[in-house]
Amino acid sequence: MAEAHVKRAYKYRFYPTGAQAAELSRTFGCVRKVYNMALAARTEARTRQERVNYNATSAMLTAWKKTEELAYLNEVSSVPLQQCLRHLQAAFTNLFGKRARYPRFKSRKKSRASAEYTTSGFRYRDGELTLAKMTEPLDIVWSRPLPEGAAPSTVTVSQDAAGRWFVSFLVEDPTVEPLSATDTAIGIDVGLDHLLTLSTGEKVANPRYGRRDRVRLARAQRELSRKAKGSANRVKARLKVAPVHARITDRRRDHLHKLTTRLVRENQTLVIEDLTVRNMVRNRKLARAISDASWAEFRGMLEYKAAWYGREVIAVDRFFPSSRLCSDCGTLQTKMPLHVRTWTCDCGVTHDRDVNAAKNLLAAGLAVSACGAGVRPQRRTPGGQSAVKQEPQRATVGIPRL
């Protein structure tokens, strides 16, 4: 039986010519227009209790192209237009499956400018990529090679807020294979003073990339706020703010990639806490620091890399009292304010708050792995709760001690 390879995206920066940039900008605009029109049509149909699927919106697109008002849709490749309708269909499928909220309209200023091409919309030969409606290949900076013999199934072209152009190849990567199984397991407690605290006692410093560039960002944002809306100077000022945000994002993502790759390679089982970051950032005092730590992105990277390499990620329920439970004797403390970083249990053992929490998470995760019960019930966070970790007054029983 043939081995199934992992589908992986390889992203590169490229520098388009003036004609290519104009063509891509037109394509982005048409993709956004078609998506919004199709979403409006499907929304209106829902009010009449009618179902509109991808085939219906595809027929609508054909009719739109024949009108004088929307004739400009014929000037760009039809492939990304059809792909945006498929993306809309996927969004409604996720909505009906209760995996996502209702799709939102794409904004010209806030939405990501991108277009996806399938194999009929591009030509990739000898390391050169030529898109439909273009005569010259893209000037791509090949920072790393594609897997040998890999043929892209889709190509996505995008432009970020800083004006940088990127192309992403989706290929089947034969180099991603499950790693040799090990008997190592680790508990991971995320935080703000330290980005991660491991059950081994290791603490990973929080680089705080947002704080490093805060002065530079504030200066650029002040200049932007003084420009009149709609003016050319405001556009120039915005292009000075965007690179600062891009620099912060790139450095943070690079750090998280290196960190998650190391953790996945070294450990067979990784236990984390099931935090609702979306609710936690409602705390105005901690929102900036939590966003800068990017806990949600860390978890996402950890989970998909674990799936690639045959590792297991266990999420312990957020209400499990990891900080207040003694990892040595199992005694549960009544209170544990955030400013308490070390504490001594009645049994005489002195704990570092974060290391103790990581050890308890590991023990709880191993209990889940062994019996699949007890520590991660499906519970919703009540409205108006504090952004700190929610810990109940009762500890979960039957958790093995380390």
* Residues labelled catalytic: 189, 273, 354
Alpha helices in 48-108 (DSSP H): 54-65, 78-96
Show contacts of 15-21: CB within 8 Å, 24+ apart: 15/139, 15/141, 15/165, 16/138, 16/139, 16/165, 17/136, 17/139, 19/134, 20/134, 20/136, 20/138, 21/165
Is the sign of the CA dihedral 60, 65, 67, 71 positive or negative?
positive
Q: List the one residue out of 181, 175, 177 whose CA is nearest residue 312.
A: 181
Q: Which amino acid is at 249?
A: T
Q: Using the CB atoms, write b or e for 359-385: b if 16+ within 10 Å.
A: bbbbbbbbbbeeeeebbbeeeeeeeee
Question: Pairing between strand 269-274 and 312-317?
Answer: parallel
HEC-encoded secondary structure of 328-375: CCCCECCCCCCCCCEEECCCCCEEEHHHHHHHHHHHHHHHHHHHCCCC
Is the sign of the CA dihedral 206, 382, 278, 302 positive or negative?
positive
Other Cβ atoms within 10 Å of 149 Cβ, number: 8
Q: Which amino acid is at 280?
A: M
Query: CB within 8 A of 386, min separation 6: which ones?
Result: 283
Structure tokens at 174: 């034969």
Cα–Cα dist 278/270, whole Å: 22
